[in-house]
């Protein structure tokens, strides 16, 4: 039992490759376990007049799923990644320009947001963009026993979602029990 608890507190093996793509100004592929994300950074470059900000660079983040079009989940992750990147990139050094970070999911086996953040940071460093600091992402969840799972696989993440859904469903069933028993006893007292 302790060995499994210890393994839940460790990161899956990770690695990266830099400058894989020739067209972007910087690129990196980050792998954590079986989760792999390819990141490309373009810019600073000319910006569309409609998106131009006079005192800093405009930052766009695009997260592309392995297949299909981005969903609400990807759009939410894009916003979190954009907020993190905006907090670290010295955008004031490049006014009226555009910086674009494109993230392509190659394979998702859990901890996707953390892997996207790590790929983005590696690609920004590869592009040589000036930053206040570097950043990283780490995923952890709390299981039904209250134990913290570090770097969960997608199977573990799905299990946590299932447990949460079952708990909500069980609450409805228990409320039904209470209502049924209450009705029975209120009829008996009449």
Question: Whole-angstrom Cα distance, residue 47 to residue 35?
Answer: 32
pTM of the model: 0.80
DSSP reduced 3-state for 122: helix
Question: Whole-angstrom Cα distance, residue 70 to residue 68?
Answer: 7
What is the chain's alpha carbon radius of gyration, rounded to the nearest angstrom?
23
- Which uninterrupted H or E stretch holds 166? helix 154-189
- Which uninterrupted H or E stretch holds 36? strand 35-46
Q: Identify the pLDDT of residue 29.
A: 97
Nearest Cα to Cα of residue 12 among 26, 38, 30: 30
Half-sphere exposure of 183 (CA within 13 A, CB side): 5
Question: Whole-angstrom Cα distance, residue 105 to residue 137?
Answer: 16
Q: Could you tell me the end-to-end alpha-carbon distance of the chain, in angstroms, rounded to an integer?
A: 55
Q: Identify the pLDDT of residue 69.
A: 92
**Tens digit of pLDDT per residue, the chain (190 long)?**
333 555 567 889 999 999 999 999 999 999 999 999 999 999 999 988 888 899 999 999 999 999 999 999 899 999 999 999 999 999 999 999 999 999 999 999 989 999 999 999 999 999 999 999 999 999 888 777 878 888 888 888 777 777 777 788 888 888 888 888 888 778 777 6
Read off the tokens for 38.
């390819």
Long-range contacts from 74-79, C-beta under 8 angstroms, 24+ separation: 77/112, 77/113, 77/116
| Measured torsion, CA atoms of residues 181, 183, 188, 190, in degrees rounded to the nearest 10 | 160
DSSP reduced 3-state for 50: helix
């Amino acid at each position: 039992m302790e060995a499994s608890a210890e393994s839940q507190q460790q990161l899956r093996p990770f690695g990266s490759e830099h400058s894989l793509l020739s067209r972007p100004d910087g690129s990196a592929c980050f792998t954590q376990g079986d989760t792999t994300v390819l990141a490309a950074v373009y810019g600073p470059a000319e910006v569309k007049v409609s998106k131009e900000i006079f005192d800093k660079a405009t930052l766009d983040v695009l997260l592309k799923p392995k297949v299909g079009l981005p969903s609400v989940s990807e759009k939410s992750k894009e916003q979190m990644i954009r907020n993190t990147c905006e907090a670290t990139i010295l955008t004031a050094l490049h006014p009226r320009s555009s910086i674009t970070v494109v993230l392509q999911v190659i394979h998702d086996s859990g901890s996707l947001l953390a892997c996207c953040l790590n790929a983005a940071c590696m690609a920004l460093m590869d592009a040589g963009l000036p930053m206040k600091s570097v950043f990283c992402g780490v995923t952890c969840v709390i299981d039904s026993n209250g134990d913290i799972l570090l770097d969960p696989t997608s199977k573990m993440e799905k299990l946590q979602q299932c447990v949460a859904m079952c708990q909500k469903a069980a609450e409805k069933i228990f409320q039904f029990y209470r209502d049924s028993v209450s009705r029975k006893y209120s009829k008996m007292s009449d």
